[in-house]
Structure 1
């Protein structure tokens, strides 16, 4: 049993709430669910104390109260031009046009849940790389081994930019240098033999092109921090039995 001031939160409520909090262990899911219910009850009680025009029955959730409580009691500063400019200069790699990569590849497929197939696919990819190092014809090997439709064009993927392939493959492409990659690149689909023919790095964007996005990002960070601090003040002022926030390090939001 958890008690928030003079209101009880039952074990049944916690068990029902757990469905919204998948976690590695049942204990963690229970802790997360209990925390959500405690915070929701604190917000409900504060909304009632302020006589906010909201439904205050037990079926209401914390989001029903949070926005009006924020508007009434939380001061959220906005990012200044100077702060936006500082963030821009501190993170130049984030504000570039998308790079362009022209590459050929051979895909050796293997399901992510088939360990044996993954090992065999990686081994085959490594053998293909060794053949290519000995001047084997890439197009012929692509036609013979690749499971990608690009095998009909010699494995050519055309020009790739951000967002055109799966993230784990994209990350490795963007960080790679031109030429035949010495090791297979792994993705959810299997292993890729990759020869980068050309790579054009992204160009820096002017502050005017990204200032609105930076401001939105910084304002959201400040907003989340202010809300977390507000919730913490409600926790500090409450009498809570049966739940200890120190045992659960999940975000208060």
Structure 2
């Protein structure tokens, strides 16, 4: 007779099907050749799920599945667990003093993003065509020399030479923040000074760019009032997560669980 690879997991007399644990294990990472790691993680997750569902049924929690957006709706079990936790987990809202104290520990954690005002001249090319790339680069190098010879004429040069629609505004791209442009472009802006023009063209998937930094606003520490709402919400979420963990911990302590050690790392 073949024995199962892993023991049955039983929670307060209810056996979790091996097939359910195997399916859940697909969502857990494990070192190569060590399926037991993923199996134990999956088993623990399903033990917690079962304990929450058992507690919800014991307390007569009503299942009211909610819409989750994009055509997805909660399952009956998901609604039971959510409603149980909504009723059982009610941490105190952090006071204004507590939020301020958290901010005051290290205000430098809360910085405004840098902002740049930049202009560019694009020499476009088909990035997959070597001849097109070489021609665009040579053209961009020539444009760079012209831009450095007459920095004040950058806008006029962009209007006449750029392959970007921004040519209509003299190459101006407006105000840019982190992730507003491609990484190769942004990394150049970080090291530039206002009024500076790149010494060499910058290559991106669009072609080659001659870049001029018009102005920049450095990162600054955000005042408490600017981050108070965000911090309050973050501390509320952290408090809820801690209280929910403690609630589950009490369920585990009072439960009869066989087949997996819930306290093992």
Once residues 54 and 236 of structure 2 are traced to their aligned partners in structure 1, the CA distance between those partners, rounded to angstroms, is 28
Structure 1 match to 2:69: none
| Bigger Rg, which one | 2
Does structure 1 residue 42 correspond to structure 2 residue 48?
A: no
Once residues 64 and 166 of structure 1 are traced to their aligned partners in structure 2, the CA distance between those partners, rounded to angstroms, is 44
1:152-196 CA-to-partner distances (Å, cap 9, x unmatched) read 545321223467x25857974774442345788788878865432
Change (3 A) 1:37 1:103: same
Once residues 32 and 108 of structure 1 are traced to their aligned partners in structure 2, the CA distance between those partners, rounded to angstroms, is 53
Under a length normalisation based on structure 1, what TM-score does the superposition of the two structures give? 0.61
Alignment gaps of 5+ in structure 2: 1-5, 65-74
Once residues 214 and 48 of structure 1 are traced to their aligned partners in structure 2, the CA distance between those partners, rounded to angstroms, is 35
Instruction: Tell me how far 1:228 sits from its aligned partner.
Output: 2.4
Once residues 208 and 188 of structure 1 are traced to their aligned partners in structure 2, the CA distance between those partners, rounded to angstroms, is 41
The correspondence for 1:71, drawn from 68, 83, 87, is 87
1:169–1:187 CA contact under 8 A, matched in 2? yes
Under a length normalisation based on structure 2, what TM-score does the superposition of the two structures give? 0.59
Alignment gaps of 5+ in structure 1: 248-253
Once residues 264 and 254 of structure 2 are traced to their aligned partners in structure 1, the CA distance between those partners, rounded to angstroms, is 16
2:28–2:42 CA contact under 8 A, matched in 1? no
Change (3 A) 1:191 1:84: farther
1:36-77 CA-to-partner distances (Å, cap 9, x unmatched) read 43321121122233343459xxx74345224424523x3513
Once residues 152 and 43 of structure 1 are traced to their aligned partners in structure 2, the CA distance between those partners, rounded to angstroms, is 61
Once residues 64 and 126 of structure 1 are traced to their aligned partners in structure 2, the CA distance between those partners, rounded to angstroms, is 65
1:64-122 CA-to-partner distances (Å, cap 9, x unmatched) read 224424523x35132122221123332345254x65421123568899xx9x88xx97x
Structure 1 match to 2:14: 7
Q: How many residues are aligned here?
A: 234
Structure 2 match to 1:219: 236
Structure 2 match to 1:156: 172
Change (3 A) 1:221 1:185: farther
Report the 3-state secondary structure (helix = DSSP H, G, I; strand = E; otherwise coil) of the residue aligned with 2:117: strand
Change (3 A) 1:170 1:127: closer
1:111-159 CA-to-partner distances (Å, cap 9, x unmatched) read 9xx9x88xx97xx87995797378367675897675x432554532122
Q: CA RMSD in A?
A: 5.0
Does structure 1 residue 81 correspond to structure 2 residue 87?
A: no
2:116–2:176 CA contact under 8 A, matched in 1? yes
Once residues 262 and 201 of structure 2 are traced to their aligned partners in structure 1, the CA distance between those partners, rounded to angstroms, is 48
